[in-house]
Amino acid sequence: MRIRVGHLYPDYLNIYADRGNIAVFARRAALRGHELDVSGVSVGDELRPGEHDLLYVGGGQDREQLLVAPDLAAKGAAVQEAVAGGAALLAVCGGYQLLGRGYLGFHGEDMPGVGLFPHETVAGDRRMIGDVLLECELEPGERKTLAGFENHAGRTRLDAGAEPLGRVLAGFGNDGESGYEGCRVDHAVGTYLHGPLLPRNPWLADWLLSQALAHATGGEPPELEPLPDELEAQAHAVSAQRARDRGGRF
Amino acid sequence: MSARLAVETLAARAAARLSRLARTGGGTTIPGKLLWKLDPGAIDALAARLPQGAALVSATNGKTTTTAMVAAILGPRTRLAWNHSGANLVSGVASTLLAQRDAELGLLEVDEGALVEVARRVRPRALLLGNLFRDQLDRYGELELVAGRWRATLAALPDDTALVVNGDDPQVGDLGRDRPGTLAFGLDDPSRALPALPHAADSRHCVRCGRPYDFAAAYVGHLGDYRCPACGHARPQLDVVARDIELHGLDSASFELVLPAGTVRVRLPLPGLYNIYNAVGAAALAHSLGASLDEIRTGLEGFGAAFGRFERIVAGDKSLLVLLVKNPAGANEVVRTLVEGGAPPLLLVALNDAIADGQDVSWIWDVDLEPLLERTERLIASGGRAAELALRCTYGGLVEEALEVEPDLARALRRGLELTPPGGELVVLPTYTAMLALRDLVTEQGLVRPYWESP
């Protein structure tokens, strides 16, 4: 099966090794006999809902984020339509912020958002930097952990009733106070965790691939054949331990 | 010297001896930390005593090597207060000034983040700003933030401070634009340009208007000959240039050095384009400090490696070649240089994640390791994040059978030397704290002198 991936702003939003996440999708798809077809969608390019089974938006420095924000906001309706139509989406750090309703920067610069995730982000005076460990339950009864690294000045506040990606076991999370991290809407996941996120958290890559395959086939999300993931498990364990030892401290 | 400064100096020197006695370190920063505590203003007074003033060097990459090159040029005729082991925070600068009481000139590499404070206290007569790459974002913050701090540093310095900037770096080159007398240095040899901007290139968008630059040539990361097609912001006129560059594998490079004082061919005993940037920057700074063309050439040609940067260490009938890696731009150049010199079949790579390494290890995914891994037959992954590194390498095309994961550096080093044939060389790529640990290991085995005794 061919999985069509739309990588938004690969030339602007790539600060935290976002290409590592794309490489994980590609390899894990290939090992199950599927092919990943990645196309870049940048400033001025049209985003057509339904053309992609999976969308990816990475993180950028403030300057790059400012440069893409108006363009991304103009693509907002298309992003919302794609997700409502069942496409999977992963947004990391800056991409996660810009897919909310908006970002109020530290120097008062306002960036419009897409409005996919029900949240708003306001810059704080101290960056929240460190290792993070989350517990997630994307499928009822299946609790899994995500280990990553966060580095953000933005405090992201979810609307009442919005679904976070996970509960913070160690680290700051969305705003350093709520005890939650990230956000989920349908098959779209937004998070501050980089590292990059997916190499050491392959279960999330598989979950997103499975949703993308469902979008591609029009059927149910398939069970993917398990992989050995030994180095992945070791890397996850070290990262999780770092979060327990030193995460969530200014 | 005031009575107070004298007493504090004695106390701080005693602390350095204690630090060495206690074997907690080289004592390169402890006395400075103590002095800093006793009297933060003492650094200002120590710097003010230097009869020829002080020169500062800052950059993301290459500051230790560049500073060491300037020392090689000026050292024969000037007594230097030089922080050669790379202790480049305020405390390290204080320790250096304290230890070299009879120095004539301060020659100090300074951490990018510490530059504002050090420049305010030391009041340098000359300042070299080398380059800005993404580096340890968890510690330094984003590039714009560092550039902003540098702009503030310059605004606070008097007009007669000699400024030397890398004109090939859009952010850094722009800092000198409004200061008359600024020396801009760079490379001019399109035959050595990269085929395309690397993945980790940072300043690819115009610092003025945000449009992507057109690069007539990119030499290292985003360093090169750029022009914005929209607003015309472009590389400044270069005053100090390397052209007609030849690279000789892992051994050396040569180039024609163009200075306001004349032109000379230099044979540099270090490989790689990034070391040519270091050499041209060092030449420009030495020129602004009054060195002659001949002194500059002689200094550069007689240069040995700086601490842990392309350093060869003899280990019995084998040797280690140590190449520090710490961020994507620097690591990309190490990869490029190794590949061009004939990539080694065996590698020891050590990834730590202490504060000095950057706690965020995501940068290893931004390094283009692939050309090196294509040729690697065996890779020993070590350090606190060995598994993460190994995982990155499998994504870079290395088969799992070619990998050995050994987080413990002592065991990894033993294994690496065991796999190295007699007369052979083990190439080691450590992050900063892994490099220090590695030096401790080889020092314990009596292979090198402790770093506080060199050079």
> Domain ends where: B301, B322, B354?
B301
pLDDT tens-digit profile of A53-93? Answer: 999 999 988 888 888 999 999 999 999 999 999 999 999 99
Q: What's the CATH number where B364 sits?
A: 3.90.190.20
Q: What is the pLDDT of residue B28?
A: 64
Which sequence positions of A are flagged as catalytic? 93, 194
B362–A16 CB contact, under 8 Å:
yes
Residues B286 and B334 reside in one and the same domain: no
Residues B313 and B165 reside in one and the same domain: no
Residues of B in contact with A242 (CB under 8 A): 353, 359
> Domain ends where: B301, B319, B338?
B301
ipTM: 0.95
Q: What is the pLDDT of residue B455?
A: 43
Q: Which two tokens stand for residue B72?
A: 């090689």
Q: Which two tokens stand for residue B242?
A: 């390397």
How many structural domains comprise chain B?
2
Residues B173 and B194 reside in one and the same domain: yes
This prediction's pTM: 0.83
Question: Which domain does B7 fall in, by range?
Answer: 3-301
Q: Is A19 on the interface with B (CB under 8 A)?
A: yes
Residues B186 and B292 reside in one and the same domain: yes
A67–B360 CB contact, under 8 Å:
no
B400–A231 CB contact, under 8 Å:
yes
Residues B272 and B318 reside in one and the same domain: no
Q: Which of B210, B391, B405 shows the shortest C-beta gap to A67? A: B210
Residues B314 and B276 reside in one and the same domain: no
A199–B365 CB contact, under 8 Å:
yes
For residue B326, the Cα-to-chain-centroid distance in whole angstroms is: 10
Distance, CA of B312 to CA of B269 (rounded, Å): 13
Distance, CA of A215 to CA of B118 (rounded, Å): 57
Residue B425 lies in a domain: yes
In A159-225, at which residue ranges do the beta strands (DSSP E only) sit? Answer: 166-170, 180-181, 183-185, 188-191
In B53-103, at which residue ranges do the beta strands (DSSP E only) sit? Answer: 54-58, 80-82
Q: What is the pLDDT of residue B7?
A: 65
Q: What is the pLDDT of residue B263?
A: 97
Q: What is the pLDDT of residue B23?
A: 46
Q: Work out whether strand A110-112 and strand A88-92 pair parallel, antiparallel, or are unpaired.
A: unpaired
Residues B164 and B71 reside in one and the same domain: yes
Residues B228 and B355 reside in one and the same domain: no
Residue B128 lies in a domain: yes
Tokens 């300042």 correspond to what residue? Answer: B127
Q: What is the mean pLDDT of chain A?
A: 94
Tens digit of each residue's pLDDT, chain B (455 residues): 566 677 667 666 666 665 554 444 555 666 667 766 667 778 898 999 999 999 999 999 999 999 999 999 999 999 999 998 888 998 899 989 988 889 999 999 999 999 999 999 999 999 999 999 888 777 766 788 889 999 999 999 999 999 999 999 999 999 998 899 999 999 999 999 998 888 777 788 898 898 999 999 999 999 999 999 999 999 999 999 999 999 988 889 999 999 999 999 999 999 899 999 999 999 999 999 999 999 999 999 999 877 777 888 888 889 999 999 989 988 998 999 999 888 899 999 999 999 989 999 999 999 999 999 998 999 999 999 999 999 999 999 999 899 999 999 999 999 999 999 999 999 999 999 999 999 889 888 766 555 545 44
Residue B420 lies in a domain: yes
Residues of B in contact with A131 (CB under 8 A): 359
Residues of A in contact with B366 (CB under 8 A): 14, 17, 19
Residues of A in contact with B199 (CB under 8 A): 14, 19
B62: alpha, beta or left? (left if phi > 0; alpha if psi -120 to 50):
left
Residues B164 and B274 reside in one and the same domain: yes
Q: What is the pLDDT of residue A159?
A: 97
Cβ atoms < 10 Å from Cβ of B135 = 21
Please state, in angstroms and as integers, the Cα–Cα distance from residue A100 to each residue in A40, A75, A94, A173, A244, following that order: 21, 13, 10, 16, 29
> Domain ends where: B241, B266, B301?
B301
Q: What's the CATH number where B78 sits?
A: 3.40.1190.10
Q: Is A24 on the interface with B (CB under 8 A)?
A: yes
Residues B220 and B249 reside in one and the same domain: yes
Composition of chain A by helix, strand, coil, percent to 5: 30, 35, 35
Q: What is the pLDDT of residue B2?
A: 65
Instruction: Decide which of B183 and A111 is more confident.
Output: B183
B391–A231 CB contact, under 8 Å:
yes
Residue B375 lies in a domain: yes
Q: Which two tokens stand for residue B133?
A: 């790459």
Please state, in angstroms and as integers, the Cα–Cα distance from residue B290 to each residue in B58, B74, B126, B162, B283, following that order: 20, 9, 11, 11, 11
Residue B455 lies in a domain: no
Domain boundaries defined on chain A:
2-246
Closest to B272 (Cα-Cα) out of B343, B196, B185, B334: B334
Residue B449 lies in a domain: no
Residue B56 lies in a domain: yes
Instruction: Decide which of A7 and A63 is more confident.
Output: A7
Q: What is the pLDDT of residue B30?
A: 61
Residues B350 and B316 reside in one and the same domain: yes
Q: What is the pLDDT of residue B300?
A: 97
Q: List all residues 6 or more positions away from A236 whose beta carbon is below 8 Å from its beta carbon.
A: A145, A147, A200, A201
Residue B454 lies in a domain: no
Q: Per CATH, the architecture of A2-246 is what?
A: 3-Layer(aba) Sandwich (3.40)
Residues B18 and B130 reside in one and the same domain: yes
Which residue in chain B is spatially nearest to A126 when comparing CA positions? B141
